[in-house]
Structures are given as structure tokens and as C-alpha cells.
Chains A and B, each alone.
Chain A
Amino acid sequence: MIIEIGHFALILAFVLSVLQSVVPVWGAVKGDRRLMAVAPPVAGMQFLLVGIAFAALMQAYMVSDFSVLNVVENSHSAKPTLYKITGVWGNHEGSLLLWVLILVLFGALVAAFGRNIPMELKAATLGVQGWVTAAFLLFMLATSNPFLRLSPAPMEGNDLNPILQDVGLAIHPPLLYVGYVGFSIVFSFAIAALILGRVDAAWARWVRPWTLLAWMFLTLGIAMGSYWAYYELGWGGYWFWDPVENASFMPWLAGTALLHSAIVMEKRGALKVWTVLLAILTFSLSLLGTFLVRSGVLTSVHAFATDPARGTFILGILVLFIGGSLALYAWRAPMLKQGGLFAPISREGALVLNNLLLTVATASVLVGTLYPLVLEVLTGEKISVGPPFFNLTFGPLMIPLLMAIPFGPFLAWKRGDLAAVGQRLYVVAGLALVAILVSAWWHGTQQILAALGVGLAVWVICGAAAEILSRARFGDVGLSTGLARLAGLPRSAWGTAFGHAGMGLTLLGIVAVSAFQEEKVLTIRPGDSVEIADYTLNFSGLAHRTGPNYVDDVGHFDILRDGRQVAVADPAKRLYTARQMPTTEAGIVTFGLSQIYVSIGEVHADGGADIRLYHKPLVTLIWIGCLVMSFGGVLSLLDRRLRVGAPKPARRKVAAAGQGGD
């Protein structure tokens, strides 16, 4: 009965979303308050209904109800409980349900916390969110219904794809989806503004927290996915420029640009039209990502949907939303009022440069991702666009962007003074130079590019610190007042500093791993030892082990430094019995910020094995940097400035003016 209730709730949510698509927008256009008032409760109701559906499906997974086709195809009674839960979104139908759940969650959040948003804008926004919800619910019910039943029910399921049976899967997709789908509400705000033909001064202020929230989760989701690929796929790589990775990276780049342009719009009323376009593009890229992953046009680990009917349907949704929104933009955007003017050298100017570079970078990733697909469709020729392409296009675009980062926050709004900022950054530039020299001296001048990279990372990190310190003005006001000023800084200033410093940390990790890592591929026999960096690894052999739903061969390595044992590594080659599918479990040991990485390839009859062995200096900084960036997002989100109180009605204007401060 629970399953059928979930099914009915999902259908009811679809019917409501159709109503939601029409009624509030109609009300907003006609100025009919009653129709507009329908939007928030219905948004809440949709969330409740999809929540019921999701809970019902999860319950079916928990109790291994094999009368549900989706459970049969993706679960197994012997699977550990954690993977029974994560299995809910480890497949096409379930992950779509999660997608829609997050979609309606954002609608409900705007309904609940958006009290200060003007009624028309709120109604139209929730209405547009209703369009997206209706489209995806229809897609689910028509082609990917997770509630289809089987009778008689089989006694056992097919198990979840072993590569997906990992803690990483428990966290990666939900984070990524909150990010992806979170941009939907920003999109809805943009379309609502276009429908109403007006972008309020406060528009950016309402949009920015949602953008920040989505961006933070997307950052964490991408970082998580990258770390998961790093330890699960056994190649020691953290980023492959795989189309699926690009699918999540493009909305991130566009979302980062949006985050910055929304600041300009909020503070200065400029870049309105551009920000609206970016909001549309960011979510369009999310939709494109969903299409690439869900339609099965790519063949990779992630592409578990390979049904042409589904692909066509999603392509339809994609064309409808992207085409429709861009057409609406072309029609309505000229009606929007343009904002304030500014000189090229100014905070606005720096943010425009940021937007320019990020957008072009997004375009380069888009070309690299879609070109092979288009070529295959047109000529049938299969090519792959790999790291060389992206290193040549994406890389050079990032260098000026990273070099400009420390300047931005120092520049004044409207009219800045580059020379004055340059003076403030002398010390930072000096530190970067020292970093370059030290790195070049340590690793030799043939690694000069890497040394420059290290310098760039130090420049970004120290620049972020310098900006915060300059705000404290220790030199002018003394230590204690300076500290007090530091504590009193708006959280968004801290957010900016952490965000930028995190970027620098990630860059430092990437540079160090790319330039200084050591790699060995060899065949090893029990009793052999191998040296890498300052460490010696002694291989004592392989042991056979049986897990709940797999068997594996576990190698044991003692890691020695200066003759003393400092750690052990136990990489494994695992076979999941239900699907007869092998996976590698890399043995990873962290020393400070660096890691030793061992993974087992072929196992030989004599007890030996082929192994890949890496020493990866500072590799953890790649992900730590992402965490720091997200933490910056949290700080920014907590800024009181973003919580603008609802304005008082006009009659009490005098009282309101008194408390108009921060």
C-alpha cells in the first residue's frame, strides 16, 4: 500500500504542478492577488507529495520489496543498508525522483522564506518553477516511472552497479543535484522578471542567496565526485575532462560568473540584463548536463540510461526550456531599464572581466564537450576530446582570471585606482616572487612553469589574506582596534576572502600534483620492496577476503620512512558476485597534505601483482580548497545584509527610514 500511495502522490504532484504553472503566472500578469496567493501553499504541497513518493520508494528499497521493478533492477537483499538507501538514487528513475524532489524543495523554500519578495515576482517565480516541475514529472511518469510493479515478484534483485556501491555515492549525487537544481530557482526568478517586464533593484538581493546556496553545493558535489573518481577508478586522476564531469563543471563556471555579476547588480544596479541572461544560461547548462547524463548519449560510468525514448523526451524539454527562455529574453530584455555607469577600472570593471573570462571558459568547455557528439551525429566518426584540448583553451583563460582575483576586492566601486591597489599588493607580489624562486631552486629550473604556477597560487591566497588585513588597518589603528574591526567586518567580506583563498589552495594542489608527482607502474612479488619519494614500500602478499556481497584480493604494503614503519596500505581488487563485475579499491595513505596511492591491476598466479604506485604531493589541497571555497559561500550566505526585512507600508515610512541601516 505504501508504494501505491507514493505512486499516487507523485501523480497528484504532477497534476498540481500543471495548475501551479498556470494560475500564479496568470494572476501576476493580471494583477489578481487571489490567484497569486495560490502559489506558496501549492509549492509546499508539491514538496510534501514528492517527499511522500520519495519516502515510499526508499521504504521499498529498505525492505527489499521486489514487487517494485526499480528495486529488482537495482538492489539486492544482501546489500548493506547504507547502499540500499543510496541505491534509491543510484539509478535513472530514482535519481530523477531525487532531482524533482530538490526542484520542489527549492520552490517550497522560496514559498516559506521569501516573505520579503514582492507578490507578483514570487507568484511568477513559483509559477515558472511549476513549469520545470511539470515537465520533469511528466517525463518521469511517461518514460521513467520508479513505481512500476512486478507480479509475481522475484525473490532476489540484480544488485546495484558495484562501482556505485561506495560512500561517495551516498554524498555525491545529492550534493551535485542540490547544486544543479538549485539554479532552477534562479532561472525561475529571471524568467519571472522577464514576464513581468521589470527587474527590481532588490531582484539581485533575492536571487543572490539562492545562487550562493546552489553554487556551494555544486562546488562540494564536484569536489566529492572528483575525490570519488580519484580513489575508486584506480587511475590516480582527479579530473578527466570526461563529458559527465564537464556537464557539472559548466553550470559551476556559469554559476560562479552569476554570483559575481549579481553583486554588481545588487550594489550598483548595473549589468541587470546580463545577469538575467547568465541566470538563464546557468540553468540551461544544468539542463544540458542532465540531458547528457540521463539520455545515454555518452557512454561512461555515469550514463546508466540508454533508452532512445527517454533521450528524445529530455531533448524536447531541453529545447523547450532553453529555446523558450532565450526567445523570451530576446523579446523582453530590451524593455528592462539599464543601471548605473562605471569606469573600466573599478570594482564593476573587475567583475565584468571575471564574467568575461568565466563565460569564455564555459564556452570552451562546452565546445570540447559537444564537438565530439555533434561530429558523431553528422559523420559517424568517433573522436574524443581530452586534456590537451582543455589545457590549451581552458588553461590560458584561467591565468589572467587568477592574476586579477586579488585586485578585484581592493578596487572601489564606480571609479577605482589601479596604481593605488598595486601599491597595496606590493607585499603579496613579493611573497609570490619568493614562492617562485624557492620552487625553482627546489625542483630545478626545467620546472619553471610549475614554479610560476606555485607563484600564482601564492599570489591568490595571500591576496585574499591581504584584503582582509587591509580592512582591519592594523597600521593606522593599532592591534586591538584592528582586531575589533576584523571581527566587525561583514561576513560577506570574509566569504569573499575564503572563496578566493580556496581557489588558490585548489590551484596549488593541481600545480603540485601535475608537476611534481612520481609514478611507478610495475609487477611486484611477495617480499619485494619498491621506493617512491622518501618512502619504501614492502609488499607482503595478497590475501583473499569475503565481503557481504563481494570477494576481493587484498594486497598488504608496509610503508617505511628512514627504515621505520610509518603506515600500511591495503589496496584491493574486488569482484562483486551478483553482477560478476570487478572494481579496484585503491590504497591511499595521507602524509600531511600529500598522499601515497597504490592500486592493483592484474593479479598473477604466483601471488604477484601489477601495481600502479604514485606519490602525490599536496594533492589533498585540491579538495581542501573546494571545502574552503564552500565555507566562504556559507559565510556570505550568513551575511545579515542579505536578510533585508520586509519593507513597511508607505504610511509608516518615517519610522522605516530610521532603521534603514545595515
Chain B
Amino acid sequence: MTLWIAFSLLTVLAALAVLVPLARAGRQAATAAALHDAEVYKSQLAEVERDLDRGLISQEAAQAARTEIARRLIAADREAQRSSGSEPIAPQGDAAGRTSRLRIVQAAALVVVPLGAVAAYVAFGSPDLPDQPLSARLEAPAQGRSLPELVARVERHLADNPEDGRGWDVVAPVYMRMGRPQDAAAAYARAIRLLGSNVQRETDRGEALVVANSGIVSAEAHAAFERAVAMDAQAVKPRFFLALALTQENRKDEAIAAWQSLLADAQGGEAWAEAVRIELAKLGVEAPQVAGEGVAGPSREQIEAAQDMSSGDRQQMIRSMVDGLDARLTADGGSAQEWMQLMRALDVLGERERLRQVIARAGEALKDDPAAAAGVRDLARELGEGS
């Protein structure tokens, strides 16, 4: 509302800028152009005197110049006399034309200006969008804010308080989930420097480095995992990555030993155990199935095929598997766990739009099972698609 009041004020001002002079101008006295000319010639005469004084021109030249300028001056004076006599304020013959011109311009000011401006504004403007200064957005209450907005707030806070270790600790996993592993690794490093090292932080930092390095365990990540294992020899995650490092370094026997020792600690049903079996399978070792139903992973043939592929082909294979799963779930329905597997896969592939559609479809398919639907909602929120 205030906005439209401001618009009206501006429009009224604009219209007045046209209307007021229209109404008042008749009274002004005229100065004929010839009078201006006369003024110029007079100062030219003065200039001649100055030049003469400087010795730039001779006495005769000055006299000639004076004569020439005086002639023009007289002509201009005569012109001024004539025009001031023949140009009354409103010549009678043109009175009708004057009135109609006045009406046309008044109408334009009153109609064209407001209508034109409002019509163009409605076409181009966004009257419903408020201003959104960054500082206000960062200070607004957290409820109902999107994840990027919340992260920006934390970032702003950390830029001002770089020594706030808790802040870095909080933002690091969020970076991971947003697909910014580089930032996550840096945040973990700061948290470690400020709050001290522990198994969790070292492991998470290492993981972030691995993800940032497209899955390769770098020397830096390796060191982080080793520090974690030094603090807790039983920790599963750092051991997993160390085993992965051995695999990547092609130290086959050591890798198999490391994987098997990990598997020995499995209670059954852990998601990572499945991954370990896959890794072992890649190394050519058939691992015993541990208890727990588990969702069927890719078959051994598929894994072997995947190993020989380029990363582009591998991406392609993953996509075709995702598409297959999606088609099956859409057609025949499936368990909450299968829906969630699909959601995770889409999250990893970065297909946000499709992910949103799948979440909606999963909600629809599982609406008779409140617990399963809640699980899907939780995961959706975790993936940054909570509503």
C-alpha cells in the first residue's frame, strides 16, 4: 500500500511539472532573440578596446572592427524594436490553435503520464517483492528459512568470529551435505585447531578430503584417519577408509586383511558391512553373508563390469540402475528402504528436481504406513528437501 502511495506522489509531482508552467507561463515578459544579439555585439566592442590596449591590433584595424560591429548592433536593435512591436503576448489569429494545444498537453499530462507509467510498471515491475538486504535476511528468525540462508548466516557469524570452534564444528557436516566437501574439510580443520582433535572430527575431516578428491584417499586424508585410529583402534569408519587406501594403492593382501578384520567386527545389518563385502568382492574374495536382510546391492557381475569402466561409463551404469529402480518402484511400489535408497542415489547424482518428485511419490505410495512415511520425511529433511 505504502508503495502505491509513493508511486502516486511521484506521478502527481510529474504531472504538476507539466501543468503548473502551462498555467503560469502566459504572464512572463518576452525578450526577443535580437536583444541577446545586441548584448553580444556590445561586449565585442569592449573586446576590441582591450585588444587595442594590448597592442594586438592597430588603431585603424580597431576602427574598422568598431564600424563593423556597430553596423551589426544597429541591425539587431532594429530587429528587436520590430519584433517587440509585432509580437503581442497572444496573437489573435492563433488564439484557437493555442487553446487546443493547451488542452492536448494538459490531457497528456493528466492521462498519458499516469496511465503510461503504471501500465509499463505493471508489465516490468515486481510490486510484491520487498527489499531484501542481506543483513536483514541473515538476522531474520530461523524458522522457515532455507538451508542456504541458514548456512549464509553461520558463515557471516564465522567471518566475524573466526575463533568460534563450535561454529565450525556445526557448519562442517552441513557443508558435506550441501556438496561442498572442500569447505567442509577446511571447517573441520579449523574446529580441530580450536577445539582439539578427536576421533569423530579427524574421521569426518578425512572423509571430506576423500570426497573432495573424488574418492581417492590422499596422504593428508590418510594421516587424519591414522590419527583417529590411534585414538580409538576399534573405530570403524577410519579403518574403512584406511582399508580403502590400501586397495587404491594396490596392496592387495594387506587390503584384504584390513577389510576382513573390519568385517569381523560387524554385528550384522550395518550398511558399511555391505560396502566391505563389495570391496572384498572386487579384490576377488567371496565374503560370507552376515545376518540381516540388507537391500540387494549390485551383483558381482555388475561390480566387475563397473571396475573396467571409465568414470563416465560408471556414471552411466549408476544412472541406468537408478532409472530401473525408479521405474520398478513407481509401477509396483516397494519398501520404505527402497524408496530411501532411490532418494539417496538421486541426492548423490545431484538431481534435485527428480528427487523432489520422488519424495512426493514416496509419500503417496507409503501413506498407509505412517512409520515408513515419517522415515521418508526425515530423510527428505536430511537431504535438504524438507518442507
A4 interface neighbour in B3, B41, B45, B159, Cβ under 8 Å: B3
On whether the beta carbons of A19 and B39 are closer than 8 Å, the reply is: no
Tell me, yes or no, whether B131 is within 8 Å of chain A by CB.
yes
Helix, strand, loop or mixed for chain B's interface?
Answer: helix
Partner of A649, one of B29, B77, B98: B29
Which of B106-114, B240-248, B276-284, B355-363 is the interface stretch?
Answer: B106-114
State whether the Cβ of A308 lies closer than 8 Å to any Cβ in chain B.
Answer: no
The answer on a CB contact under 8 Å between A647 and B121 is no
Contact with B along A284-327 (1 / 0, CB 8 A): 00000000000000000000000000000000000000000000
A4 in contact with B127 (CB, 8 Å): yes
User: Could you say which residues of chain B place their CB within 8 Å of the CB of A65?
Assistant: 131-134
CB-defined contacts of A49 to chain B, threshold 8 Å = 10, 14
Q: Per a CB cutoff under 8 Å, which of A7, A35, A121, A156 touches B124?
A: A7
Listed in ascending order, the chain A residues whose CB lies under 8 Å from chain B are: 1-5, 7-9, 11-12, 14-16, 18-19, 23, 26-27, 30-38, 40-42, 44-45, 48-49, 52, 60, 63-67, 77-78, 116-121, 141, 145, 147-149, 151-156, 198, 200-202, 205, 266-267, 269, 340, 412-415, 471, 473, 490, 641, 644-650, 653, 656-657, 660-662
The answer, among A27, A145, A202, A414, for a CB contact under 8 Å with B36, is A202
- Name 17 interchain pairs, CB-CB below 8 A, sorted by A: A12-B14, A16-B113, A34-B21, A38-B17, A38-B25, A64-B134, A64-B135, A66-B132, A77-B156, A118-B33, A155-B151, A200-B37, A647-B36, A647-B39, A649-B29, A650-B35, A650-B81
**Cβ contacts under 8 Å, A653 to chain B:** 77
Contact A41 B14 (CB under 8 A): no
Shortest A128–chain B CB gap in Å is 18
What are the 3 A-B residue pairs with the smallest beta carbon separation, nearest first?
A37-B25, A660-B42, A63-B133
The residues of A that contact B61 with a CB separation of less than 8 Å are 412, 414-415
Closest approach, in angstroms, between the C-beta of B178 and any C-beta of chain A?
11
Inter-chain contacts of A37 with B (CB < 8 A)? 21-22, 24-25, 28
What sequence of 0s and 1s flags, for each residue 36-73 of chain B, a beta carbon within 8 Å of any chain A beta carbon? 11111111111100110011110001001100100010
For residue A36, give the distance in angstroms from its CB to the closest CB of chain B: 7
Bound form: Cα–Cα A70–B26 in Å? 46
Judge whether B14 and A16 touch: CB under 8 Å.
Answer: yes
In the assembled complex, B94 has its CB within 8 A of some CB on chain A: yes
Nearest residue, chain B, Cβ from A641: B43
CA distance A5 to B13 in the complex (A): 14
Tell me whether A67 and B129 are in contact in the complex, defined as CB-CB below 8 angstroms, given that A11-B117, A201-B76 are known contacts. Answer: yes
Interface residue B163 (Cβ < 8 Å from any Cβ of A): no
Tell me the nearest residue of chain A to B21, going by C-beta.
Answer: A37
Contacts of B105 in A (CB 8 A): 23, 35, 38
- Min CB distance, B84 to chain A, in Å? 5
Min CB–CB distance B165 → chain A (angstroms): 20
| Contact in complex: B13, A7 (CB < 8 Å) | no
> B3 to A201, Cβ gap below 8 A?
no
Does B20 sit within 8 A of A, measured CB to CB? Answer: yes
Contact for B98 among A3, A32, A44, A490, CB less than 8 A: A32
Q: A200-B36, A660-B45, A661-B46 are in contact. Are A151 and B98 (CB under 8 A)?
A: no
Question: How many whole Å from B70's CB to the nearest CB in chain A?
Answer: 12
Inter-chain CA distance A36–B25, complex, in Å, is 8
A269 to B68 Cα, complex, angstroms? 11
Q: Within the complex, what minimum Cβ distance (angstroms) separates B96 from chain A?
A: 12
Check A662–B50 contact: CB distance below 8 A: yes
Contacts of A340 in B (CB 8 A): 68
* Given A19-B108, A30-B94, A653-B77, A8-B125 contact (CB < 8 Å): yes
> B213 an interface residue at 8 Å Cβ cutoff?
no
Known A63-B134, A65-B133, A650-B80; judge A662-B13 contact (CB<8 A).
no
A408 to B2, CA, bound (A): 63
Beta-carbon contact of A149 and B26 below 8 Å: no
Q: Is the CB of A414 within 8 A of B124?
A: no
Q: In whole angstroms, how far apart are the Cα atoms of A148 and B121 in the complex?
A: 11
Task: Please name all residues of chain A whose beta carbon is closer than 8 Å to the beta carbon of B291 when the two chains form the complex.
Answer: none
Contact residue among B18, B121, B135, B148 (Cβ-Cβ distance under 8 Å from A8): B121
- B101 within 8 Å of A by Cβ? yes
A49–B3 CA distance with the chains assembled, in angstroms: 16
Check if B97 is an interface residue, CB within 8 A of chain A: yes
In the complex, which residues of chain B have a beta carbon less than 8 angstroms from the beta carbon of A120?
33
Q: Give the nearest-CB partner of B6 in chain A.
A: A5
A644 and B113 form a contact (CB under 8 A)? no
8 Å CB contact of B17 from A32, A41, A149, A205: A41
**Number of chain B interface residues as a range:** 35 or more
B188 to chain A, nearest CB (A): 20
Q: Are A2 and B112 CB-contacts (below 8 A) given A7-B121, A7-B124?
A: no
CB within 8 Å: A-B pair count:
236
B1-12 CB contact bits vs A (8 Å, 1 = yes)? 011001100110
Residues of B within 8 A of A649 (CB): 29, 31, 35, 84
Q: A34-B102, A149-B129, A662-B50 are known contacts. Are A201 and B35 too (CB-CB below 8 A)?
A: no
Chain B residue at smallest Cβ distance from A157: B134
Alpha-carbon gap, A553 to B95, bound state (A):
78
* A156 & B3 in contact (Cβ 8 Å cutoff): no
Q: How far is the CA of A34 from the CA of B6 in the complex (A)?
A: 29
Q: In the bound complex, how far is the Cα of B18 from the Cα of A147, in angstroms?
A: 27
Q: Is B149's CB within 8 Å of the partner chain A?
A: yes
A657 to B146, CA, bound (A): 78
A46 to B40, CA, bound (A): 32
**When the two chains form their complex, are residues B132 and A67 in contact, meaning their CB atoms are under 8 A apart?**
yes
Given contacts A2-B131, A31-B91, A77-B156, 17 further A-B contacts (CB under 8 A): A8-B10, A16-B18, A19-B108, A19-B113, A23-B108, A33-B28, A34-B21, A41-B21, A42-B17, A67-B132, A118-B32, A147-B124, A147-B125, A200-B33, A647-B39, A649-B84, A650-B80
> CA–CA, A141 to B124, complex, Å?
8
Q: Which of B101, B113, B131 contacts A67 (CB 8 A)?
A: B131
Contact B31 A267 (CB under 8 A): no
Q: Is the CB of B131 within 8 A of A644?
A: no
Q: Are A14 and B120 in contact, with the CB atoms below 8 A?
A: yes
Q: What chain A residues lie within 8 Å of B17 (beta carbons)?
A: 16, 38, 41-42, 44-45
Is the C-beta of B116 less than 8 angstroms from some C-beta in chain A?
yes
Tell me, yes or no, whether B310 is within 8 Å of chain A by CB. Answer: no
By a CB distance below 8 angstroms, the chain B residues around A147 are 124-125
- In the assembled complex, B292 has its CB within 8 A of some CB on chain A: no
B126 on the A face (CB < 8 A): yes
B327 at the interface (CB under 8 A from A): no
Taking a contact as CB atoms closer than 8 A, the residue among A7, A27, A33, A152 that contacts B125 in the complex is: A7
Say yes or no: is B152 at the interface (Cβ < 8 Å to chain A).
Answer: yes
A77 touching B18, Cβ below 8 Å: no
Across-interface contacts of B39 in A (CB, < 8 A): 202, 644-645, 647, 656, 660
**What CA separation (Å) do A656 and B38 show in the bound complex?**
10
- When chains A and B are docked, how far (Å) is the Cα of A14 from the Cα of B112? 12
**What is the chain A residue whose CB lies nearest that of B68?**
A340
**Residue numbers in A under 8 Å from B44 (CB-CB):** 267
Q: A168 to B76, alpha carbons, bound, how many Å?
A: 50
Do B13 and A141 have beta carbons less than 8 Å apart? no
A78 and B310 alpha carbons, distance in the complex (Å): 40
Residues of B within 8 A of A149 (CB): 126, 129
Asked if B130 CB lies within 8 Å of chain A CBs, one says yes
**Contact residues in A for B30 (Cβ distance below 8 Å):** 33, 119
**In the assembled complex, which residues on chain B have CB atoms less than 8 Å from the CB atom of A48?**
13
A410 to chain B, nearest CB (A): 8
Give chain B residues whose Cβ lies under 8 Å from the Cβ of A269: 72
B94 to chain A, nearest CB (A): 7
Residues on A with C-beta less than 8 A from B80 are: 650
Contacts of A2 in B (CB 8 A): 131
- Could you tell me the distance in whole angstroms from the C-beta of B151 to the nearest C-beta in chain A? 8
B81 in contact with A473 (CB, 8 Å) = no
> Do B21 and A40 touch (CB < 8 A)?
yes
Q: Given the complex of chains A and B, what is the CA–CA distance between A35 and B26 in angstroms?
A: 10
Least CB distance from A146 to B in Å reads 11
**Which chain B residues border A14 with CB–CB below 8 Å?**
120
Q: Smallest CB–CB gap between B7 and chain A, Å? A: 5
